[in-house]
Chain A
Amino acid sequence: MKNVNIKSVVVALSLLATLSSCENDYQDEKPSIAAIAVANANFSTLEGAAIQGGVAGVLSNSNPNDPSGKYTVFAPTNDAFAKLGLVNSGSLGVLQNSFLTNTLLYHVSNGSLMANQIMAGGTSASALSINRRFISRGSDLYINGSKIILTDVAASNGTVHAIDKVMIATGVNIVDSAILLKDSKVFKSPELTFLVQAVISSGLAPTLSNPANNFTIYAPTDAAFKAAGFATIQDVANAPQAVLQQVLLNHAISGGKFTSEQTATTATTAGGGTLTYSPFLNGVFTVKSNGNTIPANMVIPDIQCSNGVVHIIDRVLLP
C-alpha cells in the first residue's frame, strides 16, 4: 500500500515537472519581419497591407532568393500611410491589390542591409527590381523621399528599418504612370484623368515618355483642374494646344528629384517660369507659381517613374 502511494506521488510529481517544463522557452527567439509588423502597434496599417497584399506569408519565411535567407524591409509607419490618407487597414480598400502588392515589394530587398552599410548616394535594388536611392539631408538619411527614422530592427529573416513615408514606384515612364492612375490601376477610382488629357492634347506625351529625358513633374489632381476652371475632360481637350503646353511645361523641371533632394527654394520650369518652394517640413514643401495666390500642397509626393519623379499636387500651377 505504501508502495502504491509512493508510486502515485512519483507519477504526480513527474506530471507537474512536465507542466513546469512547458514554460515559455522561445522568448529569446527573434520574430520574423511579419511578426514585427504584427506585434508593433505603429505598423498596424503595414500589417493590414501585408495581409491584403498577400506578402504576410512571404515575410514570415526565409528569403529563397538570397543565399543568406534574409530580407531588408523599409517599413512605413502608420503615420507614413496616413500621409496618403490611408489612416488604417480598412482605408487600404481604395487601392488596387496588385498596386498594393507591388508597392510593398518596392520596400523589400534581398539580404540584410544594415544601417552602417547604407551609403548616401548609393542605391539598392528592390524586390520590384527597381532601384531606390539613398540620400543624405542634414543629419538625416533618406531612401528616396522617405526619411529613415529607425534602423536595424533585427528579425529572424532579416532587418527592418522604419520610414516616415510610403515609397511608390511605377516602373514605367511619366506618361504611362499617369495613365495607370487614369485607368484605375492604382486607386480603384480614376485620378489624373484631366492631366492625361492635357498631356495628350498638348502634344507633350512623346517628350514626357522619352527615356532619354528626366523630369520632376508636379501633377495636379482632377480636383485641381476643376478648381482651375476645367469643368470636364472635354474642356481640357478643347483648350488651345499652345495654352496647354505652356501650363504643363510650368509643371516640369529638368532632372527628377525626390522631395529629400530638393534643397533650392526656387526652380526654373521647362517653360521658363519660376516655382517657389516653402521650407522642407515633415517630408514635403509647397509649390507656388507666379499665377497662383495660394501655393499647391503635395497630395502624393515622390512617385518614382522610369524617367523622373512625380509629385501629385492639389492645385494647377499657373504661369
Chain B
Amino acid sequence: MIKKQIVLLLAVTTLGCVTTAFSQSPISGFMQGKGKGNVALSYSFEKYDNVFLVPQEVESVPVFNDVKITSASIYGVYGISDQVDVVMVLPYITATGNASQEVLTNNNFENERKGLQDVSVFVKYSPFYFDFGKSSLRLIGALGLKTPLGDYNVNEGLQSIIAIGNRSTTFSTTGMAMYKMNSGVFASAQFAGNFASNEVPNSYSSEVKLGYAASLFYADAFIANQTSTSGVDILGEGFTGFFPSTQVNYTKIGLNLYTPITKEVGISAGASTVIEGRNVGKATGLYGGLVYKF
C-alpha cells in the first residue's frame, strides 16, 4: 500500500535568522504495520532573500543578502507493532549566504555553515481506529525527541544568521487525527507542543493536510504553523545577537507527491513556501526523494 511509504520533506526551514527543524512534521496519519517500514533519502533546496521581521517584512537578509539552504536527509520509519511506529530523521544541512567578500572580511564572517544537524526520533502510537465502512478515522499520539548530533555553532553573533540549527534538545508531544474515505481522499490535522531544553523558546505547531492516497499515486497539500510561546524579536528588545533565544513563528503551505516505480522503490517530490512569519526567512523550497519500502 502506497500509504505506508509516505515520505516527508525534512528540510530545514529557514534557519536564517532562524532555527526550525522541519518544514513539515515527520508524523503522518498512516501507520506502517508490524515489521514493515520504509527508508527514504531526500534532497531539498530552499532560498530566501526576504525576512519577516517585526513589524515588517524586509528585503534582503542582513549581512548575507540572500540565503540558500540545501539538505540531504535520511528518514526511516518502522512498525514495531500494528499500533506503534518508530520514526527517525537526520538531516545534513548546508546554509550559504551571499555576502560580498568585503563584508565577510570586515566582519570576519563566512558565507557557509554546514554539518549534521539534529537527529529526531518519534514514537507513534495509534490506539484508536474507527472503521465507518466507507470511511475511517485514526487517532494518533506521538512522542518525539530532537537533539543535536553535529557540533555546529549557534553563538557566532550575526554569523549565526546562517547557523544550521538552534542546538536545543526538544521534546515534543503530538496529537493527530486522520479521516480517510475509501476513495483515497483524506484529511488530517495534528497539534504538537515542543519543549526546548535551553534558551530556545517552547513552541506549539500544527498542521492540516488534505490529500489523496491510492495505490499508484499519492498527493497532499498542507498548511503548517509554528508559534513560539516566548522569545525575543530579531533587532527587538532583548536581542543580543544570540539567535536561539529568538521567537520563531511561521505559517507555510506546501504539497507532497509520491509514486511507486517498482514494488519496493518510489519517488517523492514536493514544494513549500513560508507565507507569513515572525523572525523567519520567507523561504521557498523544493525537494525530491527516493523511497525504499520493506
- Give B55-79 as 1s and 0s: 1 = Cβ < 8 Å from A's Cβ atoms: 1101110110000000000000000
Give complex CA distance A52, B103 in Å.
9
Interface centre among B60, B105, B107, B130 (most CB of A within 10 A): B107
Chain B residue, CB-CB nearest to A31? B55
Interface centre among B55, B158, B239, B276 (most CB of A within 10 A): B55
Number of A interface residues in the complex (CB < 8 A): 43
B-side contacts of A93, CB under 8 Å: 102, 105-106
Query: Does B194 count as interface, using CB distance less than 8 angstroms?
Result: no
Give complex CA distance A28, B137 in Å.
42
Cβ-defined contact, A12 with B187, below 8 A: yes
Cβ-defined contact, A92 with B130, below 8 A: no
- Give B105-145 as 1s and 0s: 1 = Cβ < 8 Å from A's Cβ atoms: 11100000000000000000000001010000100000000
Give which listed residue, B137, B208, B241, contacts A16 with CB less than 8 A: B208
B-side contacts of A16, CB under 8 Å: 189, 208
Query: Does B84 count as interface, using CB distance less than 8 angstroms?
Result: no
Number of residue pairs A-B, CB distance < 8 angstroms: 115
Interface of B is mostly: mixed
Query: Does A164 count as interface, using CB distance less than 8 angstroms?
Result: no
Number of B interface residues in the complex (CB < 8 A): 44
Which residues in window 25-54 of B have CB below 8 A to A? 53-54
Cβ-defined contact, A1 with B158, below 8 A: no
Cβ-defined contact, A90 with B208, below 8 A: no
Give complex CA distance A89, B240 in Å.
21
B-side contacts of A26, CB under 8 Å: 54-55, 278
Cβ-defined contact, A38 with B225, below 8 A: no
B-side contacts of A5, CB under 8 Å: 132, 137
Cβ-defined contact, B278 with A15, below 8 A: no
B-side contacts of A18, CB under 8 Å: 191, 204, 206, 225
Cβ-defined contact, B103 with A90, below 8 A: yes
Starting from the known contacts A11-B189, A89-B103, 10 additional A-B residue pairs (CB-CB under 8 Å) come to: A18-B191, A31-B53, A32-B236, A32-B239, A39-B56, A41-B59, A51-B158, A61-B237, A156-B236, A156-B237
Q: List 15 A-B contacts (CB under 8 A).
A: A4-B137, A8-B179, A15-B208, A19-B206, A19-B208, A19-B251, A34-B235, A39-B53, A48-B106, A51-B62, A52-B106, A57-B241, A60-B237, A61-B239, A89-B102
Q: Which 3 residue pairs of A and B lie closest in terms of their CB atoms, listed nearest first?
A: A90-B102, A35-B235, A93-B106
